[in-house]
């Protein structure tokens, strides 16, 4: 537990409960607050994310795409100007292996792009 503030807090919490020196409901509510704040995203002073792994979410189902989902894909759809030339911008969609295995990736991508293209002012 060395080096982990939340871990040390929970250790002290268990000792206090064992000694019955504090009310259990108060301690558990404090523990939930401390644990929730300790699992928040890691950011440096500039507000940049410094987590080692940030999981993606499936654009179609909003499920988290795990690191072991090797069937998942991430697709960038390029934006074009009124002449049909690529203008350097793109929209990214992530599709999980679950959607692809069902055979719904094509229809999901069509549905997602129909929603998004009005936002990015595409034809």
29 Ramachandran zone, left/alpha/beta (phi>0; psi -120 to 50): alpha
**Entry pTM:** 0.59
Give residue 1's pLDDT.
42
Torsion over CA: 113, 115, 117, 120 (sign): negative
Residues of the chain with pLDDT under 50: 1-2
In sequence order, which residues have a C-beta less than 8 Å from that of residue 42 and are 6 or more positions away?
Answer: 49, 50, 51
Give residue 26's pLDDT.
59
Give residue 47's pLDDT.
84
Give residue 4's pLDDT.
57
């Amino acid at each position: 537990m060395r080096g982990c503030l939340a871990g040390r807090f929970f250790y002290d919490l268990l000792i206090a409960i064992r000694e019955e020196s504090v009310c259990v409901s108060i301690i558990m509510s404090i523990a939930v607050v401390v644990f929730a704040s300790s699992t928040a995203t890691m950011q440096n002073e500039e507000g940049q994310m410094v987590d080692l792994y940030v999981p993606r979410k499936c654009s179609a189902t909003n499920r988290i795409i795990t690191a072991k989902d090797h069937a998942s894909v991430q697709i960038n759809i390029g934006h074009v100007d009124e002449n049909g030339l690529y203008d350097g911008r793109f929209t990214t969609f992530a599709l999980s292996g679950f959607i692809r295995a069902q055979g719904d990736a094509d229809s999901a991508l069509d549905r997602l792009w129909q929603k998004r293209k009005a936002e990015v002012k595409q034809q």
